[in-house]
Amino acid sequence: MESEGGDAAYISHAHSDHASYGKKAEKIICSEETAVLIGSSKERLNLENAKLLDAGHMLGSTQLSAQVEGGKFVYTGDFKLEAGITTKGAEMPKECDYLLIEGTYGEPGAVFPKREEVFAQMQKWVMQNKEKTIVFGAYETGKAQEMIGFLNKYCGVAPVVSKKIDDVCKIYGKFGVKLERVRAGTHEAEEMCMGGGFTAVLPVREANEGLCRKLSGVYGKEALCALATGWGYKRSFSAGKVFCLSDHADFNGIIEYVNGANPKKIYCTHGNEKTLARELRARGFDAAPLVKKEEGGVQTTLEMAPKGVAVQCSAQCGQR
């Protein structure tokens, strides 16, 4: 949610498509974890008429719940109801009047297996291929740490990780999330790679069949690549193996959340917003897609005035 006319912006979590909205603001509204992850030294506001709720998406991810003119407003940000290895599940708000909800997987076909089922599938695959080189591709902040946590807990493996992923893991550690891994480029990492089969977690853009061929040639072991993403339910990827694991709520999770919040008015944003709004209307809710102005969508402005500080947050669609 970006600052528009005010001097502060709400940042739901540390992914760049959300955190970038805070660059122009003088002050930010976010969790301590998010502020550290994005490297911000800006003043963090504590609002008298608003509070932050766990969102379950990644370390420090939050929802915004605020009392505004006309009732209670909740913005979910990216959220997930199921608990993960590195996060709790999202906190379900008690009834609200206005709900701004993300719709990344807001279409009926976007239904995921239970998280524990996917962990079991990944564990079986890793153990079956433990003598080979295994590379998991993951976004460097959030998903990579969840994958490292999975490998630690379910496979007893401390993977080799890129320098950026390791830097983020250090921040996770400062907030009590301990992750065992080996930083790429170190003597320990080189020994692991030369000693036989090893497992790595690397940026998603690097995990592909081309990398696997290079690793096989260098280390003399067959190399396998895998991704863990919610988009596994419908898309194909260059990685050899895809597991349907997401840090977002699936369609059923979104519907469960809306039923629990029971809002009077719903705005849908961040992907599949038109489909989600239509599905919610079919279930008896007053819902509308929140899309860019040039696409003919609606725009909502939330005004809050804590201790004389005017804050206007305009919610728009960002990159997914």
Greater model confidence, 292 or 70: 70
Q: How many CB atoms lie within 10 A of CB 222?
A: 14
- Token pair 């001097």 is at which residue? 7
How far apart CA 35 and CA 57 sit, in angstroms, is: 16
Q: In the chain, which residues fall in CATH 3.60.15.10?
A: 2-110+248-315
313 pLDDT more than 70: no
Mean pLDDT across the chain? 87
- 8 Å CB contact between 1 and 75: yes
CATH number of 115-243: 3.40.50.12650
| % residues pLDDT > 90 (the chain) | 68
pLDDT of residue 140: 95
Q: In the chain, which residues fall in CATH 3.40.50.12650?
A: 115-243
Give the residue from 42, 34, 41 showing the smallest Cα distance to 16: 34
pLDDT in tens, 166-187: 999 999 999 999 999 999 999 9
For the ranges 98-112, 154-168, 279-293, the lowest mean pLDDT is seen at 279-293
pLDDT of residue 295: 52
How far apart CA 136 and CA 206 sit, in angstroms, is: 10
Burial 9-48 (b: 16+ CB within 10 A, else e): bbbbbbbeebbebbeebebbbbbebbbbbbebebebbebe
Average pLDDT, integer, range 21-40: 86
Helix H or strand E encompassing 261: helix 251-261
23 pLDDT more than 80: no
Average pLDDT, integer, range 223-241: 84
How far apart CA 210 and CA 227 sit, in angstroms, is: 15
CATH number of 2-110+248-315: 3.60.15.10
Q: What DSSP character marks residue 233?
A: G
**Residue 209 backbone zone (phi > 0: left; psi -120 to 50: alpha; other: beta):** alpha
How far apart CA 175 and CA 192 sit, in angstroms, is: 28
Q: Is 35 helix (H, G, I), strand (E, B) or coil?
A: helix
pLDDT classification of 21: cutoffs 50, 70, 90? low
Average pLDDT, integer, range 250-259: 98
Greater model confidence, 8 or 244: 244
Give the residue from 3, 19, 10 showing the smallest Cα distance to 318: 19
304 pLDDT more than 60: no
